[in-house]
Amino acid sequence: MDSTGPVGLQPCPPDSSELVQECLQQFKVTGAQLRQIQASLLGSMEQALRGQASPAPAVRMLPTYVGSTPHGTEQGDFVVLELGAAGASLRVLWVTLTGIEGHRMESQSQEFVIPQEVMLGPGQQLFDFAARCLSEFLDALPVGNQGLKLGFNFSFPCHQTGLDRSTLISWTKGFRCSGVEGQDVVQLLQDAIERQGAYSIDVIAVVNDTVGTMMGCEREARPCEVGLVVDTGTNACYMEEARHVAVLDEDRGQACVSIEWGSFSDDGALGPVLTTFDHTLDQESLNPGAQRFEKMIGGLYLGELVRLVLAHLAQLGVLFGGCTSPALLSPGSFLLEHVAEMEEPSAGAARVHAILQDLGLSPGALDAELVQHVCAAVCMRAAQLCAAALAAILARLQHSREQQSLQIAVATGGRVFERHPRFLSVLQETVKLLAPECDVSFTPSVDGGGRGVAMVTAVAARLAAHRRLLEETLAPFRLTFEQLAAVQAQMRESMAKGLRGEASSLRMLPTYVCATPDGSERGDFLALDLGGTNFRVLLVRVATGGVQITSQFYSIPECVAQGSGRQLFDHIVDCIVDFQQKHGLSGQSLPLGFTFSFPCRQLGLDQGILLNWTKGFNASDCEGQDVVCLLREAIGRRQAVELNVVAIVNDTVGTMMSCGYEDPRCEVGLIVGTGTNACYMEELQNMAGVAGDSGHMCINMEWGAFGDDGSLGVLSTCFDASVDQASINPGKQRFEKMISGMYLGEIVRHILLHLTSLGVLFRGQQTQRLQTRDIFKTKFLSEIESDSLALRQVRAILENLGLPLTSDDALMVLEVCQAVSQRAAQLCGAGVAAVVEKIRENRGLEELTVSVGVDGTLYKLHPHFSHLLAATVHELAPRCAVTFLQSEDGSGKGAALVTAVACRLAQRAHV
H or E segment to which residue 865 belongs: helix 865-876
Decide if 101 contacts 763 (C-beta within 8 A).
no
Of 817, 1, 64, the C-alpha closest to 387 is 1
Q: Cα separations (Å) of 474 from 18, 751, 763?
A: 75, 9, 19
Q: What are phi and psi of 295, to 5 degrees?
A: -75, -10
SS3 for 616-675 is: CCCCECCCCCEHHHHHHHHHHHCCCCCCEEEEEECHHHHHHHHHHCCCCCEEEEEEECCC
3-state SS assignment for residue 880 = strand
Decide if 567 contacts 560 (C-beta within 8 A).
yes
- Cα separation, 620 vs 409, in Å, equals 61
Q: Cα separations (Å) of 404 from 44, 225, 438?
A: 22, 17, 9
User: Is there a catalytic annotation at residue 855?
Assistant: no
Q: What are phi and psi of 767, to 5 degrees?
A: -115, 145
Decide if 364 contacts 321 (C-beta within 8 A).
yes
With a CB cutoff of 8 Å and minimum separation 6, the contacts of 515 are 696, 901, 905
H or E segment to which residue 536 belongs: strand 534-543
Decide if 853 contacts 667 (C-beta within 8 A).
no
Write down the catalytic residue from 166, 258, 265, 597: 597
- Cα separation, 172 vs 291, in Å, equals 9
User: Is there a catalytic annotation at residue 202?
Assistant: no
Q: Cα separations (Å) of 426 from 134, 306, 342, 663?
A: 39, 18, 17, 73
With a CB cutoff of 8 Å and minimum separation 6, the contacts of 814 are 252, 784, 785, 794
Concatenated DSSP letters of 194-232? HHH-SS-EEEEEEE-HHHHHHHTSPP-SS-EEEEEEESS
Of 374, 378, 368, the C-alpha closest to 423 is 378
Residue 755 identity (one-letter amino acid) = L
Residue 555 identity (one-letter amino acid) = S
Decide if 852 contacts 883 (C-beta within 8 A).
yes
- Cα separation, 412 vs 409, in Å, equals 10
Write down the catalytic residue from 128, 209, 606, 651: 651
Residue 787 identity (one-letter amino acid) = D
E-only strand ranges, 354-451: 406-413, 438-444
Backbone CA torsion sign across 739, 740, 743, 746: positive
User: Is there a catalytic annotation at residue 651?
Assistant: yes
With a CB cutoff of 8 Å and minimum separation 6, the contacts of 206 are 151, 152, 154, 158, 160, 163, 164, 165, 166, 185, 186
H or E segment to which residue 111 belongs: strand 105-113
Write down the catalytic residue from 252, 307, 536, 840: 536
Decide if 147 contacts 202 (C-beta within 8 A).
yes
Of 530, 522, 593, 513, the C-alpha closest to 899 is 593
Concatenated DSSP letters of 263-308? G---HHHHGGG--HHHHHHHHHSSSTTS-TTHHHHSHHHHHHHHHH
Q: Cα separations (Å) of 523 from 542, 549, 642, 815?
A: 5, 12, 18, 50
Q: What are phi and psi of 103, to 5 degrees?
A: -150, 65
SS3 for 431-450 is: HHHHCCCEEEEEEECCCHHH
Decide if 237 contacts 245 (C-beta within 8 A).
no
- Cα separation, 409 vs 414, in Å, equals 17
Q: Tell me which residues are annotated as active site.
A: 536, 597, 651
